Amino acid sequence: MAGLLHKFRDSTYRLPERCGRFNVGLLKPWELRQVARLEAENFPEPLSLASLLYLWLQPRTTYIAVRDGKKLAAYIGFQAYGPFAHTISMCVAGAYRRQGLGRLVQLAANRVAIKHGLRCFCGEVRSSNTPQLQLLRSMGWREGGRFPRFFGNGEDAVFVFCLLEDDGGG
């Protein structure tokens, strides 16, 4: 049980952080329903609420939320594997796109990953997800290759990564 307490201690990571009307902090378990809704609205292969809860409960998993009041505007989830932070999923709600929230949530995740002692962020992005690839490139991420037919629908994945620096990694 003590291992789960860090998931409620925003101050461990110098959170919450205010950015205009938005509040950035650790995602709480009662917000997972909003994550499941955003997954269903935005991803061809969304994670179920049960899968999200299972992931959230794992000590190596961290979710970061960007909130507009009580509404979830964006989130990112990642897991620690050795020195790597591996992205589970990242999403900005449709009504909040083009406001810099993708960059905001990724930078917060970078800082939390560094605090965990992680050295590199990595993940797979659908080859058709041009906005995400452009965002990550603009933040200094590199492409390490392509995985043919990686996703369940046969779409290729682009493997992306970024070395984390003490300045937040981006």
pLDDT at site 73 = 98
Express as a percent the part of the chain with pLDDT over 70: 93
- Position 1 scores a pLDDT of 47
Q: What is the 3-state secondary structure (H, E, C) of the chain?
A: CHHHHHHHCHHHHCCCEEECCEEEEECCHHHHHHHHHHHHHHCCCCCCHHHHHHHHHCCCEEEEEEEECCEEEEEEEEEEECCEEEEEEEEECHHHCCCCHHHHHHHHHHHHHHHCCCCEEEEEEECCCHHHHHHHHHCCCEEEEEECCCCCCCCCEEEEEEECCCCCCC
What are the tens digits of pLDDT across the range 52-92? 999 999 999 999 999 999 999 999 999 999 999 999 999 99
pLDDT tens string 153-163: 999 999 999 99
User: Residue 119 phi/psi, 5° resolution?
Assistant: -115, -15
CA distance 3 to 24: 22
**Domains of the chain, start order:** 2-163 (3.40.630.30)
